[in-house]
Amino acid sequence: MTRPERYEKIAFVASSGTEAQAALAQLTALYGNCDAADADVVVALGGDGLMLQTLHANMRSGKPIYGMHRGTVGFLMNEYSTHNLRERLAASRESLISPLLMRATDIHGAVHLHHAINEVALFRQTYQAARLRILIDEHERMPELIADGILVATPAGSTAYNLSVQGPIVPINAALLALTPISAFRPRRWRGALLPNSAFVVIEVLEEAKRPVAAVADHDEVRDVGRVEVLTDKTISIRMLFDPGHSLEERILREQFGY
């Protein structure tokens, strides 16, 4: 088989785990290890946490990202093998995802901007439940939600924290976002909503001094927020590579049938 030129230069990144570091040494010996700025593709070795870090680090580079599972949770990763890596990369299928942009204003008026590939989540900071007001496209949709919190999930993140709090699984190519409450107390039976990915979501914190709330975009946290705005950043398109038959679309579909 002719070796594909477009994936000649590979940059490897690995988590600190023993398995990932051993894989890094093996693959570097076989294929070399380019600087990410000069590489044709970035290969991440670890679990989903490492993959998210890699996607964030290369968000604006336009470089494709291919993961191999050498960590704990590996939903976003391909199976690990040292054999025929360039051929696997050439045969892989590409999924494009756009991140969320979170604009969080804290109670002191400071504005914090962060991107999220999986979700933007708001959590209560103390023993008291949060009181939240929800606006969609500048229209009030819920004057008061009393809950432990709420999250906005992308299709790629719908099988992560969103699923664990009983949110819906969203097909990767669906132009939708999941808005899901976390342990809702009032309205008790509200299960959330599916929104178009063009939606502009605003969550205002009521009684922010008495009932403080933190906002988290993937792994970036802002404490004591008063207002959080969330929208899809369509100026960014992240390229993820998956082996044939194991695409992100297929994995999300499998999750809906429990396997």
Give the active site residues.
48
**Which of these, 78, 126, 121, 98, lies nearest to 247 by C-alpha position?**
78
* Residues in Cβ contact with 67 at an 8 Å cutoff, skipping those fewer than 6 apart: 43, 44, 45, 46, 50, 51, 54, 74, 76, 77, 78, 240
Task: Count Cα atoms within 13 angstroms, Cβ side, for 33.
Answer: 13
- DSSP for 138-200 reads TEEEEEEEEEEEEEEE-TTTTTTHHHHTTPPP--TTSSEEEEEEEEEEESTT---EEEETT--
H or E stretch covering 91:
helix 85-91
Residue located via tokens 């008790």 = 188
- Answer whether 165's CB lies under 8 Å from 180's CB: yes
The Cα 137–Cα 231 span in angstroms is 10
